[in-house]
């Protein structure tokens, strides 16, 4: 009884501290716009080192392989410049510290990798093969313990230190200059090499992802990962649990339908019941190549069996599970912030409403609701709604699909009215949040507004003399 009480209490304390941290507000991680100079330099230094290690006997193959290495580094730089990698004081350093723990426990491995949180809600991790590892926000919000994160990193390290990407590139480079092989390959239309017409396709076929990968290397990576992992102090249950989580990644964490009426019914502007009409679309609108919300995870059942076999001879290690609740919540807020940054406003609205469900007093969540409603209004007004609002798709989770359907049902005036009334009715509650006051200022530009934007602006400046939105208020 006593023991049980203590456990309950520890959990309760952890929850309280996480809750209080996110109860009132959230400050999103900075967006860099361009790759930080130090990171760029480090990537170039590593590229030079990688190129110096190329020892193909054929000159042409040698040169081509070096060119492929450059393209691989260029891809990483491009993704930094496109704001996918998060360079902040929280998420990425936390992941890096777990990576350091693994290296400390495996001193024979050269410390050649860096890990960053990655702005995507796909449940995935990727090793680019040149030393950069990406850990998506979607995966981070699924991980229950630090040990699970450690196992994912061990898996990506296994790909890197076994040179899976390098080997595949070398194979490709050799093939490219082998006339006889080329002829053979052309004859086999369905051969995987037949698809290697573009570099992007090559990259996709490399083992750069924990969920999308060539089958041949996956079991090998899992098995090497486990060897690295067992050298650490982390518990022996996490590896199998991690694969179970990946296996169920297509099942959303929040399946309850949002109560739209609760959010969008105002004394001066009533909710209309017809907004709720919902018939799932019969057309698949989303393309699966670039859509994070689709269900695309292959089964991990066979990988789990293989891991369990390898673990059989191991003595179970019940190390205290290090929870990572704060980082998990942070990655959920960051997913909403990222959806907004990438101008996916239907997704922003959905994600910030879920945040508001759990943190009803969080000003940032409500500010994102207000700001994304205004952006949807503005884009519909400019006939650009299609650019920022996904079409419903029966493959999405029903709660998300319902929100998309609702947003497509609204007319311009209705969108404007919701944006305005949502912010105007909450402006006192969230008056200390500059994100929220900015949302109110934006919404005061709609035709239905009864507030003067100029007055809101001077109020904003008085309260936040060096506010981040001043430059945008004109």
Cβ proximity to Zn ion, 219 vs 464, nearer residue: 219
Q: What does the per-residue mask of binding to Zn ion show for 19-58, with x meaning CB under 5 A? A: ----------------------------------------
Q: What does the per-residue mask of binding to Zn ion show for 172-211, with x meaning CB under 5 A? A: --------------------------------------x-
CB of 222 to Zn ion, least distance (A): 8
Cβ proximity to Zn ion, 213 vs 402, nearer residue: 213
- Alpha-carbon dihedral sign for residues 453, 459, 460, 465: positive
Cβ proximity to Zn ion, 213 vs 330, nearer residue: 213
Give yes or no for a contact between 132 and 76, defined as CB atoms under 8 angstroms apart: yes
Cβ proximity to Zn ion, 212 vs 381, nearer residue: 212
Q: Can you tell me the distance from the alpha carbon of 194 to that of 197, in angstroms, rounded to the nearest whole number? A: 7
Cβ proximity to Zn ion, 76 vs 221, nearer residue: 221
Give yes or no for a contact between 270 and 235, defined as CB atoms under 8 angstroms apart: no
CB of 204 to Zn ion, least distance (A): 14
- Which of 46, 72, 164, 213: binder of Zn ion (CB under 5 A)? 213
The packing angle between helices 412-424 and 363-381, to 10°, is 160
CB of 51 to Zn ion, least distance (A): 25
Cβ proximity to Zn ion, 250 vs 265, nearer residue: 250
CB of 128 to Zn ion, least distance (A): 12
Cβ proximity to Zn ion, 169 vs 221, nearer residue: 221
- Alpha-carbon dihedral sign for residues 215, 219, 220, 222: positive
Give yes or no for a contact between 129 and 166, defined as CB atoms under 8 angstroms apart: yes
Q: Can you tell me the distance from the alpha carbon of 13 to that of 17, in angstroms, rounded to the nearest whole number? A: 6
CB of 69 to Zn ion, least distance (A): 20
Query: Which window, 181-189, 213-221, 267-275, 439-447, contacts Zn ion (CB under 5 A)?
Result: 213-221
Structure token pair of residue 465: 């003399």
Cβ proximity to Zn ion, 221 vs 230, nearer residue: 221
Q: What does the per-residue mask of binding to Zn ion show for 216-255, with x meaning CB under 5 A? A: -----x----------------------------------
DSSP strand pairing (85-86 vs 132-136): unpaired
Q: Can you tell me the distance from the alpha carbon of 94 to that of 177, in angstroms, rounded to the nearest whole number? A: 44
CB of 84 to Zn ion, least distance (A): 19
Q: Can you tell me the distance from the alpha carbon of 54 to that of 60, in angstroms, rounded to the nearest whole number? A: 12
CB of 146 to Zn ion, least distance (A): 20
Residue count of the chain: 474
Q: Can you tell me the distance from the alpha carbon of 207 to that of 370, in angstroms, rounded to the nearest whole number? A: 41
- Alpha-carbon dihedral sign for residues 116, 121, 124, 127: negative
CB of 79 to Zn ion, least distance (A): 18
> Which helix (H) or strand (E) is 127 found in, with range?
strand 125-127
Cβ-Cβ contacts under 8 Å for 25 (sequence gap 6 or more): 362, 363, 364, 433
CB of 127 to Zn ion, least distance (A): 8
Residue 164 contacts Zn ion per CB under 5 A: no
CB of 207 to Zn ion, least distance (A): 5
Kindly state the number of chain residues that form the binding site for Zn ion, as judged by CB under 5 A.
3
Q: Can you tell me the distance from the alpha carbon of 203 to that of 169, in angstroms, rounded to the nearest whole number? A: 9
Q: Can you tell me the distance from the alpha carbon of 53 to that of 169, in angstroms, rounded to the nearest whole number? A: 14
CB atoms near residue 94 (< 10 Å) = 22
Residues that bind Zn ion (CB under 5 A): 210, 213, 221
């Amino acid at each position: 009884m006593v023991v049980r009480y203590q456990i309950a209490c520890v959990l309760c304390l952890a929850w309280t501290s996480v809750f209080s941290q996110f109860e009132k507000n959230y400050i999103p991680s900075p967006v860099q716009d361009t790759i930080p100079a130090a990171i760029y330099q480090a990537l170039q230094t590593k590229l030079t080192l990688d190129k110096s290690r190329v020892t193909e006997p054929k000159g042409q193959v040698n040169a081509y392989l070096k060119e492929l290495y450059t393209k691989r580094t260029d891809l990483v730089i491009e993704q930094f410049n496109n704001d996918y990698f998060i360079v902040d004081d929280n998420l990425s350093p936390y992941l890096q510290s777990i990576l350091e723990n693994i290296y400390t426990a495996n001193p024979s491995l050269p410390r050649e990798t860096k890990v960053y949180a990655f702005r995507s809600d796909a449940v995935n991790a990727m090793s680019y093969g040149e030393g950069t590892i990406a850990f998506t926000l979607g995966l981070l919000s699924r991980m229950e313990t630090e040990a699970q994160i450690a196992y994912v990193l061990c898996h990506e390290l296994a790909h890197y230190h076994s040179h899976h990407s390098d080997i595949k590139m070398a194979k490709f480079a050799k093939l490219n200059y082998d006339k006889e092989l080329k002829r053979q390959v052309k004859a086999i239309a369905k051969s995987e090499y037949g698809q290697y017409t573009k570099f992007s396709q090559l990259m996709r076929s490399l083992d750069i992802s924990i969920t999308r990968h060539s089958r041949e290397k996956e079991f090998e990576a899992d098995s090497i990962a486990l060897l690295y992992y067992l050298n650490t102090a982390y518990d022996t249950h996490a590896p199998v649990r991690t694969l179970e989580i990946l296996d169920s990644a297509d099942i959303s964490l929040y399946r309850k339908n949002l109560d739209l009426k609760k959010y969008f019914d105002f004394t001066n502007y009533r909710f209309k019941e017809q907004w709720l009409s919902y018939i799932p679309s019969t057309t698949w609108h989303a393309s699966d190549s670039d859509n994070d919300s689709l269900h695309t995870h292959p089964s991990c059942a066979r990988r789990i069996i293989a891991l369990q076999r390898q673990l059989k001879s191991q003595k179970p290690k019940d190390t205290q599970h290090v929870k990572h609740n704060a980082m998990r919540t942070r990655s959920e807020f960051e997913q909403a912030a990222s959806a907004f940054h990438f101008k996916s406003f239907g997704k922003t609205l959905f994600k910030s409403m879920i945040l508001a469900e759990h943190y009803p007093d969080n000003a940032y969540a409500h500010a994102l609701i207000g700001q994304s409603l205004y952006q949807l209004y503005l884009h519909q007004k400019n006939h650009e709604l299609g650019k920022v609002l996904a079409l419903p798709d029966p493959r999405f989770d029903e709660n998300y699909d319902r929100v998309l359907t609702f947003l497509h049902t609204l007319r311009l005036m209705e969108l404007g009215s919701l944006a305005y009334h949502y912010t105007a009715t909450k402006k006192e509650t969230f008056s200390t949040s500059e994100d929220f006051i900015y949302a109110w200022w934006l919404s005061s530009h709609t035709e239905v507004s009864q507030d003067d934007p100029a007055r809101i602006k001077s109020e904003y400046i008085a309260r936040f003399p060096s506010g981040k939105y001043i430059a945008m208020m004109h």
